[in-house]
Structures are given as C-alpha cells and as structure tokens.
Amino acid sequence: MAYTFAHGTGTAADPYLVETADDLNGVRDYLDAHFKQMADIDLSAYENWEPIGEDADGKRFTGIYDGNRYTVNNLMINTTNHYKGLFGVCDTATINNLGVMNANIQGGNQGAVLVGKCTSSTLTNCYTTGNVRGLSNIGGLVGYNHTSKITNCYSMANVTGTNNQSGGLVGYSISSSIIENCYSTGNVTGYNYCGGFVGCNHTSKITNCYSIGAVSANKYFSGFVGYIYSSTIISSYYDSETSGYSDTGKGTPKTTAEMKQQETFAGWDFDTVWAMDSSINDGYPYLLWQVTDATPRKILPITYPAKYPMTYPN
C-alpha cells in the first residue's frame, strides 16, 4: 500500500509536504510527484537506507524535490549493491535547496551522498557532508552524471573509490553535462581516474568551479579532474598545496594564498553568485545562497570541517 502524506496532493501547486523521516521514505511511492520538505529530517532510525529510485523503467525518480533550505541528517547505507545515495537513480528529475549532512555510505558502483546515478536532471543549491565509499563512479554529490545540469552546489564529503572514477563532487560526468558554480573540499582516494572535483570528465563542460581536497590514486589523477575527454573546463581552479598536485590542463592550479584572493577567479560573478570573506569557509569562495536566505528561518552551515574521519559501517 502506498504511503499516505498528511499534507499535499503531489502536484506543482500542492506538493506533498515532507516533514518526517517516514515522509521522506514515502517519496519512493510517488516517483513522478512534487515534494516540498518542511523541516530538518534525521534518518538515524533508518540504519540502512534504501535509496529512492532504481535503475529500471518506471522505478527511477522523475519528480521534483524542493528541500526548501532544510537538511537530511545521518544518512547511512551499507551494502554491496549499486546506485546508492539518498536518491539512487534520478531521470529528468529536479532536486533543489537540499543539504544532506553527516552521511556514511558504503556501496557498489555509482554511489554518492545525494544521487547515485543522475540522468537528464537538474540539481541546484544542494550540498553534502560525510563519507562515501564504493567501487567505480563514486562522488561526494553525484556518482554518475549523464546529460544533467549541476549548478550552485558543493560537497564537503570524503570520497573513496576502490576502482575507477572517483571525484569530490562527481565521480564520472558524461555527455554534454553542465557543472557550473560548484566546489568540493573533501579528500578523494581511488585507483584510476580520480580528481578533487571530478574523477573523469567525458564531453562535459565545467565552468567557474574549484576544489581543495587531497587526492590519492594510482593512475590518471589530478587535483581537479583526473581525466578529460573532449571536454571543456573554463575558469576553474584547485589548490595545488592541499591537493598535492600542480598539473595544468585539467583545471588551473593555484597556491592556497591565491585561492583565497578574489582576483584569482577571473570572470566569476561576485555580485550575485559568489562571495569571499576571510572568516567564512576558511577564506575560500562560498556561494551567496549559503548565507543569504529570504526567510531567516534557516542559515545553511558552511563551517563544517572539510576533512572528516574516514570511517564506514561495518
């Protein structure tokens, strides 16, 4: 029997209101509906969360989820299956204004804190913190990104991929995807194709982004993007000191001091998108929406430590 929401009918004008952990779990019963989160949600009671959306016809999440500047906390997944995250598989979906904090995820391929596999979807004003570990296509925000648009998002999650394509924000981005005005700060550990921001960027466009996390890998790696193929990287930078790398062509390396100077970020919009303050985000650029909220109900955290302990479920 499908879950019954206390409020809303699932339409654009009257979305289902997500107020509790059980409400969030009920989203899986209405994969093409509209949702609006109305409170911070703690998933501690769900010891092994089953991601919303599967990689099969009629089972992918295709709806619209507005986090409404609230958070989902203590997401835990411990499995060997693929497509792991708060959302497992999204297709033509929209997820906005959502933070997923203190996640601890262990899975197979295509795993991340927010979305394991993201196809033809839009993610805006979202962020993640915690740890995620898997095989291939592992990212802090999205594991596998195909023809999706990711804007104004960031990840502080640490990422470990034991095989290929691991990245601080996205593990593998392919096919005319757009990633713009985003950043990542977590450490990335993997085998091949690993980057502080994106592990492998294949025919995708990255604009006005940065990363600062340390990167450790075996082959095809860099401080920003591990490997690129027919891709475009515009005005995007990484910290050569904290990442441990200084190669060019896959993002531009800058010293820590340079990364904390506005003049480094040529062409960036510091009027309506970005800001810098030595007392915020350790002096690195932050997104204006992180500290500016039309409704003073919520001020999003941006002072969480970038380097979380690398611990995972047993």
Fold of 39-290: Pectate Lyase C-like (2.160.20)
* Single-letter amino acid, residue 184: S
Identity of residue 200: C
Q: What's the angle, vertex CA 131, arms to CA 56 and CA 79, rounded to 5?
A: 45
**What confidence score (pLDDT) does residue 12 get?**
98
Q: What is the pLDDT at residue 264?
A: 98
Position of tokens 């506005």? 262
Q: What is the pLDDT of residue 131?
A: 97
Q: How far is CA 204 from the centre of its chain?
A: 16
- Cα–Cα nearest to 182, from 139, 215, 219: 139
Residues of the chain with pLDDT under 70: 292-314
Q: What is the 3-state secondary structure (H, E, C) of the chain?
A: CCCCCCCCCCCCCCCEEECCHHHHHHHHHCCCCEEEECCCEECCCCCCCCCECCCCCCCCECCEEEEEEEEEECCEEECCCCCECCEEEEECCEEEEEEEEEEEEECCCCECCCEEEEECCEEEEEEEEEEEEECCCEECCEEEEECCEEECCEECCEEEECCEEEECCEEEEECCCEEECCEECCCEECCEEEECCEEEEECCEEECCEECCCEECCEEEECCEEEEECCEEECCEEEHHHHCCCCCCCCEEECHHHHCCHHHCCCCCCCCCEECCCCCHHHCCEEHHHCCCCCCCCCCCCCCCCCCCCCCCC
Spatial contact of 10 and 32, defined as CB atoms under 8 Å apart: no
pTM of the model: 0.93
Query: Cα separation of 17 and 65, whole Å?
Result: 10
Matching residue, tokens 């990167």: 215
The residue ranges of every structural domain in the chain are 39-290
Q: What is the pLDDT of residue 142?
A: 98
- Are 59 and 87 within 8 A, CB to CB? no
Q: How far apart are CA 127 and CA 147, in angstroms?
A: 20
Question: Could you give the CA distance from residue 149 to residue 238 in angstroms, rounded to a whole number?
Answer: 21
Residue 293: per-residue pLDDT: 54
Alpha carbons within 13 angstroms on the beta-carbon side of residue 217 total 35
Terminal-residue alpha carbon distance, the chain: 32
By C-alpha distance, which of 125, 208, 139 is closest to 174? 139
Lookup result for tokens 């994106």: 198
